Structure 1
Amino acid sequence: MAKYIFPAIFTPEGENGFSVRFPDVNGCFSSGDDLADALKMANDALAIMLVHYEDNKREIPMPSNILSLKMKRGEFSSLISVDTVAYRHTLNNMAVKKTLSIPAWLNDAATAAGINFSQTLQDALKERLRLY
């Protein structure tokens, strides 16, 4: 798990859109409605593919020199950087539903005070585990 930088080739599609391909990462491609969206989607596609490579113990390909890429008229290249460790953290940050029991009087008082139970539990667990 590491940080990677790969060149991507952007091809204009329609009025504002772009398709994106990574010549060094077989099967890795994406698209976006505009340039900003295409950059974000390219980052996600590359991160997903490299996490898949890592999980399956596949060798990560060497990135080409961006200056040596062959492109068609209208295309351009850009370097896309991903951190698979950081990307895995975003995947593991999904909410998990937990069932718990508290005294009825405490539930009534917290509800009357407008307390967000999920946030309060998260805050308390982080404090208890010293994960600030």
Structure 2
Amino acid sequence: MKFIYPAVFRPTEDKKYNAFFPDLVCCEASGDTLDDAIENANAAAYDWIYTELMEFEGKLPPVSDESDLELQEGDVVRNISVNIRFQDGWDE
């Protein structure tokens, strides 16, 4: 199954990036570069979504539209796509 959520990447004073998902409570990541932050955000989103699916039987929050996000100057928004396979007997 594919899940896509927007992530906001905010530059820090030391030219690194912090990322958060407005729809995924407490799902955050960071990186030395935007590419690193995107990669780390993808891993964080995967872990968050996988855990929610296993613990709450597929009840995920609705996806925000980018136009509804409260952004600051310099913020970068990327849609993060997470693929999770569900198969009997398949263990990650």
Instruction: Give TM-score, length-normalised by structure 2.
Output: 0.85
Which is greater in Rg?
Answer: 1
1:66 maps to 66
Report SS of the residue matched to 2:30. strand
Aligned length: 87
1:36 maps to 35
Structure showing the higher strand proportion among its residues: 2
Of all paired residues, the percent bearing the same amino acid is 30
Q: After TM superposition, which residue ranges in structure 1, 4 or more long, deviate above 3 angstroms?
A: none
Report SS of the residue matched to 1:44. helix
Report SS of the residue matched to 1:46. helix
Q: CA deviation at 1:15?
A: 3.8
1:78 maps to 78
User: Aligned partner of 1:18: which letter?
Assistant: Y
Structure showing the higher helix proportion among its residues: 1
Instruction: Give TM-score, length-normalised by structure 1.
Output: 0.61
Report SS of the residue matched to 1:53. helix
In structure 1, what is the Cα distance between the partners aligned to 2:82 and 2:43?
8
Structure 2 residue ranges without an equivalent (≥5): none
